[in-house]
Amino acid sequence: MNSARVLACFFLFVPCIARGIETKGFDFPLGKPNGIGYAAGILDNPDDGNGFLEKDSASYKCGTVFHPGEDWNAITRNDDGDSVYAAADGIIEYAGDPHSGGWRNIILIHHSGNFLLPNGEIINEVWTQYGHLASISNKSNSDQKWKLGDIVKRGEEIGTVGDFYGAYHLHFEVRSIHPERQAPQNFVCGFSKKQTEDFYLPPSEFINLNRPSRWLNVNLVSTSSSPTPPTTVSLAAHVSGLEQGPITYTVYCNRPDDGTNITDGYDRQVRETNENPLFLSDVCRYDSVGTYTAKVIVERGSMVVTDKKVITIDPSSTEVVWPMYHHDADRTAHSLFRGPANPAHITTIPGTSSGCPVIDRNGTIYSLTGYTSTGGTSLRKINQQGSVVQQIPTPLTRPIEAILSPTEDRVYLFDNYYDALVSYALPTLTFNWARAFGTSNLGGRATLTEEDQIYLTTDENVLSRNGIDVSSRWPEPFQIFPWHVDYSTPMVMKDLGTVLVWDLERFRWLDDTTGQQIRTLTRNAYTQVHMRFGGFLYTTDTNGVVAKRDPATLFSEWTAPIGDSACPGATVTGGYAMAGNINNQIIVGAGRAISAFSTAGDLQWRYCLGTNEAVEYGTFATDIDGSIYGIVRTLDGIIPPRGRVVSLDSQGNLRWDYPTELVPDDCLVLGKDELYFSRLDAVIRIR
């Protein structure tokens, strides 16, 4: 493969445009995301088109051509007018009909990133071209045609299938070099087969090598010991995605550029490690007032990614970096920071409480109150001293969840009794909007992604909304009734383009873009999906079995008995809880046992609770050291029941416990040297 780059950014007399949209994997342009129902090359009609590098002497006036792309067709039907989708995120460099001839409309998209080629080489940019389009607009807005400079997202509709002299198909190319040619049909005129291979890539093979499931991401978080110089800063880097293999971290304390090349002068490098997240205590030292940019570059497998954090050293600044709440759409319950070593300092913030508190980066606590006989619910704003500084009423009946927006300027409150959602601006608690989605039930759950997209299950429907204005992302909700959701928390898998939910009878995969059902699977033994960790889903069921499962099929990689029956005393019924920790352990709580399994399914240790105790449902958290935090319910018949918060080290040894008079709600919020939870009568902070 010729790896030379042609840097000219013009095409058909198009002027240069800005680039830099980072591409996070490729899907197929028809039958997204997996090309289901379509195939490349000739089917039952020779006029259907050609495969990659197929010799063709009939279609071009300039003589023999080695076909530089793939012609895609529907397998069992006419595909005239079918939707064509952008294969990946990028910037449009051409959209239109340059010749008013057989090629019809063309769209050319530029993609930036790190792309794997069939020969193992990595390149930083490619182009995809879509030819013979009948239209170059989105069906939902047919008057708005795509144009030069438009930014498109993977899976976004860019046009419809048209014909090439009466043969309906999509001509699809992937280019490794931008040809400086005047007309699409002349791009390869006179090219030998070798020359065509130097300019073009086999489309299907390239897409399969660069699917979103390979995508790698890193999130960098910083904590400063003091805003007054000289001071030190600790960094935590959390790597996600399905790219496999050891990780190399390279850290710079002040490098503001966007590059992923390793340069001299880095401040720390940890090579070929499995440690993830990586916590670097006091790694950066700043001796003077100023603004600095800490940066980490992560290499894993064939991919390289980076993230940066701006660090301000200024004694007059009142801002405190408070890395308390990091939203966890994969439900791993894993914090990037170290939790409390012991419950030496306890702060009790009295007042009825409902759901988890959230803490913003300045340390302000936001807590929901439960419903009382004297009035409805309210949202409280609490300072670090434990004083309520503001309290406003909410229109909700039984709010169970408060979720901080990715930008930390909004909080979303979810009521699963009437399936209502409310948004307030922070820090003023100004009302933004409210929406109700169902009737009286107790079946809903909510998930928020880093893109500020909210996914809700009601008792009868699944919905997806944009957080900023609550506008719908899907043409209409997906209706589950009459099977009813079973406390299903939407598992959003952006890399696969799907959302997994479940009802009383079946698991259901929905298309993330449209909300339409893609496939289903019978749900046996009330299997519950708890989290996605290392790319796989982990489940428990009523037979006492934990399983590692493929996220696209739920086929099991392994299963193992949870094994609380091995603990002394009678087996008790208790809720299930699960978390993933830094040691790649799967922490499972069920009945009277907390157990750790390796990602290969081997039991590593088991901690037995008391004979009259059981794990509380959904109440685990793990920290940067691999320590585990959970809530245990006492089963002694006393009303209201009692409980305790326990902390174990990564080997399953008890570090500390804190008895509490009332069973806490099913959540823990873990941050830097602190842990928060809600009790029926208070919010508790442990330091």
The closest alpha carbon to 591, from 551, 624, 629, 632, belongs to 632
Give the pair of three-digit tokens for residue 491: 């598992």
Residue 416 maps to a domain? no
Q: Report the distance separating Cα 583 and Cα 108, nearest Å.
A: 45
Q: Look at residue 203 and give its three-state secondary structure.
A: helix
The structural domain count of the chain equals 3
Same domain membership, residue 223 and residue 201: no
Tokens of 114: 């790190």
Is the residue at 14 inside a domain?
A: no
**pLDDT tens digits along 118-150:** 877 778 889 999 999 999 987 666 667 899 889
Share of the chain above pLDDT 70, in %: 83
CB 286 within 8 A of CB 262: no
Bridge partners of residue 598, in order along the sequence:
585
pLDDT confidence of residue 102:
64
Are 337 and 191 contained in the same domain? no
Average the pLDDT over each of 103-107, 480-484, 617-621, 622-626 and give the range with the smallest value.
Answer: 480-484
In angstroms, the Cα distances linking 368 to 364, 379, 395, 413 are 14, 5, 12, 8
Beta bridge partners of 463: 456
- Give 320 or 494, the one with higher predicted confidence: 494
* pLDDT higher than 70, residue 226: no
Asked if residue 43 and residue 146 are part of one domain, the reply reads yes
* Domain membership flag for residue 96: yes
Asked if 68 and 175 sit in the same domain, the reply is: yes
pLDDT category of residue 211 using cuts at 50, 70 and 90: confident
**Residue 271 and residue 255 share a domain:** yes
Global pTM value: 0.64
Measured between alpha carbons, how far is 303 from 577 in angstroms, rounded to an integer?
A: 33
pLDDT tens digits for range 642-659: 888 999 999 999 999 998
Q: Determine the average pLDDT of the residues in 292-297.
A: 95
Residues 657 and 593 in one domain: yes
pLDDT at 93 over 70: yes
CATH number of the structural domain spanning residue 346:
2.120.10.30
Confidence at residue 6, expressed as pLDDT on a 0 to 100 scale:
30
Q: Are 218 and 237 in contact (CB under 8 A)?
A: yes
Please report, for the domain that includes residue 247, its CATH number: 2.60.40.10
The percent of residues above 90 in pLDDT, for the chain, comes to: 24
Please tell me which residue, 552 or 569, carries the higher pLDDT value. 552
pLDDT tier, 363 (very low <50, low <70, confident <90, very high otherwise): confident
- pLDDT of 8 > 50? The answer is no
Please indicate, yes or no, whether residues 74 and 187 belong to a single structural domain of this protein.
yes
CA atoms of 64 and 578, how far apart (whole Å): 61
Q: Judging by beta carbons within 10 Å of its beta carbon (0-12, 13-18, 19+), is residue 54 exposed, middle or buried?
A: middle
How are beta strands 545-549 and 556-561 bridged, if at all? antiparallel
* SS3 of 293-349: EEEEEEEECCEEEEEEEEEEECCCCCCCCCCCCCCCCCCCCECCCCCCCCCCCEEEE
Asked whether residue 398 is assigned to any structural domain, the reply reads no
Hey, which of 220-229, 422-431, 432-441 has the most confident mean pLDDT?
422-431
Mean pLDDT of 40-53: 67
Type of residue found at 69: G
Supply the pLDDT for residue 145: 87
Strand boundaries in 481-627, DSSP class E: 491-493, 498-502, 506-511, 517-522, 528-533, 536-540, 545-549, 556-561, 577-580, 585-590, 593-598, 603-608, 613-622
What are the percentages of helix, strand and coil residues in the chain, rounded to 5? Answer: 5, 45, 50
Residue 261 domain-assigned (yes or no): yes
Last residue of a domain, one of 173, 188, 210: 210
Looking at residue 653, its pLDDT comes to 96
**Same domain assignment for residues 186 and 58:** yes
- Alpha-carbon distance 43 to 40, whole Å? 8
* pLDDT tens-digit map of 592-640: 889 999 988 999 999 998 888 888 777 788 887 789 999 888 887 777 7
Asked if 229 contacts 313 with a C-beta cutoff of 8 angstroms, the reply is yes
Distance in angstroms (rounded) separating the CA atoms of residues 149 and 308: 27
- Candidates 19, 9, 26; CA nearest to 201 is 26
* Contact yes or no for 80/202 (Cβ under 8 A): no
Q: What 8-state DSSP symbol labels residue 8? A: -
| Confidence band of 345 (pLDDT split at 50, 70, 90) | confident
Q: Where residue 17 falls among pLDDT bands split at 50, 70, 90?
A: very low
Instruction: Extract the tokens encoding 209.
Output: 């090598």
Q: Vertex 378, ends 375 and 381: CA angle to 5°? A: 145
Q: Exposed, middle or buried, 33 (CB in 10 Å: 0-12/13-18/19+)?
A: buried
Q: Which residue has the higher pLDDT, 244 or 686?
A: 686
Which range, of 64-68, 408-412, 461-465, averages the lowest pLDDT? 64-68
Average pLDDT over residues 323-329: 54
Residue 632, Cβ neighbours under 10 Å: how many? 26
Q: Is the pLDDT of residue 391 over 90?
A: yes
Q: What is the residue range of 538's domain?
A: 333-351+534-687
Tokens of 646: 């326990």
Of 210, 226, 252, the domain-final residue: 210
| 171 and 246 share one domain | no
Q: How confident is the model at residue 225 (pLDDT cuts 50, 70, 90)?
A: low
First to last CA, the chain: 58
Q: In the β-sheet with 654-660, what is the strand arrangement from edge to edge?
A: 613-622, 628-634, 643-648, 654-660
Q: Is the pLDDT assigned to residue 161 strictly greater than 50?
A: yes
Q: Does residue 630 form part of some domain?
A: yes
Predicted pLDDT of residue 48: 66
**DSSP 3-state assignment of 565?**
helix
Do 44 and 109 fall into the same domain?
Answer: yes
147, 138 contact by CB (below 8 A): no
Query: Does some domain include residue 423?
Result: no
Parallel, antiparallel or unpaired: strands 170-175 and 200-201: antiparallel
| Mean pLDDT computed over every residue of the chain | 80
Is residue 608 one of the residues assigned to a domain? yes
Task: Identify which has the larger pLDDT, 241 or 116.
Answer: 116
Per residue in 241-262, pLDDT tens?
667 789 999 999 999 998 889 9
Domain boundary among 156, 191, 210: 210
CATH number for the domain spanning 46: value is 2.70.70.10
Residue with tokens 């001293």: 385
DSSP structure class, residue 47: G
**Confidence class for position 316, pLDDT limits 50, 70, 90:** low
CA 640 remoteness from chain centre: 39
* Whole-number Å distance between alpha carbons of 502 and 543: 18
Which class for 537: exposed (0-12), middle (13-18), buried (19 or more C-beta within 10 A)? buried
Rounded to an integer, what distance in angstroms lies between the CA atom of residue 305 and that of residue 393? 44
Say whether the peptide bond before residue 33 is cis (omega within 30 degrees of 0): yes
Distance CA 230, CA 315 (A): 11
As beta bridge partners, residue 520 has 508
Q: Are residues 69 and 166 in the same domain?
A: yes
Cross-strand partners of 445: 457
From CA 647, how far away is CA 686, in angstroms rounded?
Answer: 12
Instruction: Classify 564 as helix, strand or coil.
Output: helix
Point out the least confidently predicted range of 273-287, 420-434, 504-518.
273-287
Q: Running DSSP on this structure, what letter comes out for residue 193?
A: H
Interatomic CA distance for residues 507 and 181, integer angstroms: 50
Q: Average pLDDT of 173-177? A: 89
Q: What is the pLDDT of residue 185?
A: 47
Beta-carbon neighbour count of residue 481 at 10 Å? Answer: 12
How far apart CA 141 and CA 404 sit, in angstroms, is: 32
Based on the domain organization, do 234 and 156 belong to the same domain? Answer: no
Contacts of 495 (CB under 8 A, 6+ apart): 24, 25, 211, 212, 213, 215, 241, 242
Q: What is the mean predicted confidence (pLDDT) over 287-315? A: 88
pLDDT at position 574? 57
Q: Which residues of 373-392 are buried (b: 16+ CB within 10 A; e: fewer)?
A: eeeebbbbbbeeeeeeeeee
CA dihedral 120, 122, 125, 126 (to 10 degrees): 0
